[in-house]
A and B are shown apart, each in its own frame.
Chain A
Amino acid sequence: MRIIQKLVMALCLLPVLVAPTKADTIFETRTFTGSDLGDYSISDSRYYGASFTITQQTTITSIDAQFGAYPYGTIFGAIVPLASLTALPAGSSTDLASIALDHTILSMPSQIQTSRVCCP
């Protein structure tokens, strides 16, 4: 009976063991060293992005960037699939809305803020 109880307990603990852990940074292009004005402008005429890869099933909770000077209004951030780590997004920039897996809207100014979700 004791063994059966242990088995039941183990099965009950299984969801806990496989439960997602605390959100962590799973990808960053650079580490934050301080605010600066910045040189790469983001607007409706210029998007900027980077590719990354994940090796395990991962739940993305936020995406963000270190923004610098001239913040105004809102900026979108989107996640798109890539054919490879060195590949560019499929299609052209006009196809971004159709290929985006999810997106979020960032209110400027943003200093490493947490993203707020907007349904795709």
Chain B
Amino acid sequence: MLSLTLAPGPYGIVFGSGLFGATGTARIGQSNDEVGSADFFQYLAAASSDWLSADGEGVRLFVEGTVSAVPEPSTWGMMLMGFCGVGFLAYRRRNQVALSAVRSLLHIEPKSKDRSWAVFFVTRLLCAKDPNNSGGQRPKPSHHANHKRRYIERTHDPNFLVSIGAPAIRLEHALPQSQDFKIAFGNSLHGRRPFWRPLGLLQFTGFPCLPECVLHENPPKFTKKQNAYQRTKFSQSTKTSPAKANVGRAAIDLVRSRSRDLLSPIRSEKSNT
């Protein structure tokens, strides 16, 4: 079969002999039905070597082929815009659900600036393993995962962790006298040598008054050295002060229960999808 891809434009088909190895002769029928106007041309050696216009009444010449339905650039652009739109809608919908859950959890009014880490927190929470959620995905065993696990067991009370894996919630400060404390959450499992990367900070005043919590939109950023200090201080405080640890456990349990209730429909929706 012939296989020649042609761009849009005018072309001609020619039949003859004496070229391309063809040596035969034939006559072309002239009794076919007219379907429209067509322009014919011919080469007639007796007249000239130049091409001449010809009358093609009843002559049937035809071309067969396949039209390549390749979208034009504008069509490609529309398709890409459609894909991006679908992805953006899905992303926005998921974030809106998560953000509303966070707002409901914290009882805060919607703000335009408070979404970045809050959304990150909840969306990561959905993906992270929750010990109380049998549907959660268990991290694959690896050297890195073992390293993380050892770090958690050594430096953190597991009760302080909402989940194993990012994000973790830890007790930042606990003041048994006033029962004010802060809970920071973030990625404590960053890199081969884990260090605390704060993503958000909740300050509770008058435990367990969650509705009165203050949301710090600009959590402190620690250097590695500061992280080591914070981690050590935190570890020491939890080891040496059971009262503080109990406060922290109770707070975390409350956060976990609230978040579990709020996030369960999201989880079910996520599992359904």
Contacts and interface: CB of A to CB of B under 8 A. Distances in A.
Contacts of B6: 54, 57-60, 79, 101
Given A30-B33, A74-B23, A83-B10, A47 B16 contact: yes
B43 interface: yes
A100 to B, nearest CB: 8
Interface residues of A, number: 100
Interface stretch (B64-72, B166-174, B207-215, B236-244): B64-72
A48 to B, nearest CB: 5
Interface string A71-96: 11111111111111111110011101
B70 to A, nearest CB: 6
A17 interface: yes
- How many residues of B sit at the interface, in one of the four size bands? 35 or more
Interface in B1-23: 1-23
A34 B90 CA distance: 61
Contacts, number: 373
Contacts of B229: none
Given A18-B70, A25-B64, A26-B64, A49 B27 contact: no
A63 B61 CA distance: 8
Contacts of B24: 71-75, 107-108
A59 B7 CA distance: 9
B66 A20 contact: yes
Given A50-B40, A86-B39, A89-B51, A42 B28 contact: yes
B66 A59 contact: yes
A25 to B, nearest CB: 5
A7 B51 contact: no
B83 interface: yes
B95 interface: no
A66 B19 CA distance: 20
B87 A72 contact: no
Give me the 8 closest cross-chain CB pairs, A-B, nearest first.
Answer: A73-B24, A44-B18, A47-B16, A38-B27, A30-B32, A93-B43, A49-B14, A45-B45
